[in-house]
Structure 1
Amino acid sequence: MTAAPTDSHWPPWTAEPDRLAPGSGAPAVASALAWLEALGERHGWPPKALFALTLCADEALANVASHARRADGQSAQLWLACGPTPGGLALRIEDDGEAFDPTAQASPQLAASLDEAQIGGHGLRLMRHYLRHLLYRREGLRNVLLLELAT
């Protein structure tokens, strides 16, 4: 299929992480979320941790599927690794799209009233609420986003 993840040492896993290369687009997001749910059940993650990680993963993966493109215009491919870290649980999301650091984006201002509220644009706020760490770095031709929960 495609090459393995570029750096298996970030984050500092405390056990070998589970890995998935789901492909690209909406089908890849669906496969990734089903995989994550199955991992949570298999490893006995607390329900709140599974909910938070799945919610944040859905947001990040949907953004990659919707917006990430390679230099040739094709949809970006995804690679995932998920496993324990010291004091937490992490999901590493890689894509081969053009460089984009979502952590450098500001969360939009909250509306003063329900009438002023707009749909969308609050995914980063949601992720920052649930995650202990939301980190980005570029490794070669890949974007790498790390979602880490405290457990």
Structure 2
Amino acid sequence: MPHSHNTLALPADLGATPLALQWIEGLAERLGWPARITFRLSLSLDEALTNVVSYAFDPPGPETPAITVSCQADDTRIKIELRDNGRPYDPTAGAPPPLAVDLDEAHVGGHGVRLMRYYLDTLDYQRQDGWNCLTLIMKIA
């Protein structure tokens, strides 16, 4: 696979997620990623981006909301970087909620980071110059 770097600007609303998923699936097809890799990256990006559009800009801040997603890929790994200028939030801080023992104890929500940690080789957060930067890395076997 040749080295590739692509960036997409997204609206800061619920329309961002389907646009990003369509974009990542197009990259996967063009670059020949295995279906397993595409599924894991798409699910992880969906989880992360849904959280950004749902919580990062509510209430609105002084800046115009902005979200970008970029992808760098080569023969050994795929690196997706999700950036937004919303409120600071580190999804990697702290432990995910405990797993429920049975359905009566199960609660919706809070398990997206657990899925991302399971599927990705690296999940990293940094706050840089007023931007949240979430990096998702998957090695290509």
TM-superposed CA distance for 1:53, in Å, is 0.1
Q: Which amino acid aligns with 1:109?
A: P
Structure 1 gap ranges (5+): 1-13
Q: Is 2:66 the counterpart of 1:77?
A: yes
Give a deviation string over 1:11-31, Cα, whole Å, max 9, x none. Answer: xxx934111002211112211
Q: Which residue of 1 aligns with 2:22?
A: 34
Q: TM-score, normalised by structure 2?
A: 0.89
Q: Which moved further from structure 2: 84-93 or 120-129?
A: 84-93
Q: How does 1:65-104 map to 2 (within 5 A)?
A: 65-69=53-57, 71-72=61-62, 76-84=65-73, 87-104=76-93
Give the Cα–Cα distance (whole angstroms) in 1 for the partners of residues 74 and 84 of structure 2: 21
Q: Which amino acid aligns with 1:104?
A: A
Give the Cα–Cα distance (whole angstroms) in 2 for the partners of residues 73 and 117 of structure 1: 38
**Count of aligned positions:** 137
Q: Which moved further from structure 2: 48-57 or 94-103?
A: 94-103
The 4+ residue runs of structure 1 with deviation greater than 4 A are: none
Give the Cα–Cα distance (whole angstroms) in 1 for the partners of residues 125 and 75 of structure 2: 19
Do the aligned partners of 2:4 and 2:74 also contact (CA within 8 Å) in 1?
no
Q: Which residue of 1 aligns with 2:110?
A: 121
TM-superposed CA distance for 1:91, in Å, is 0.7
Structure 2 gap ranges (5+): none
CA RMSD of aligned residues (A): 1.8
Q: TM-score, normalised by structure 1?
A: 0.84
Identical amino acids, percent of aligned pairs:
40
Do the aligned partners of 2:3 and 2:75 also contact (CA within 8 Å) in 1?
no
Q: Which residue of 2 aligns with 1:43?
A: 31
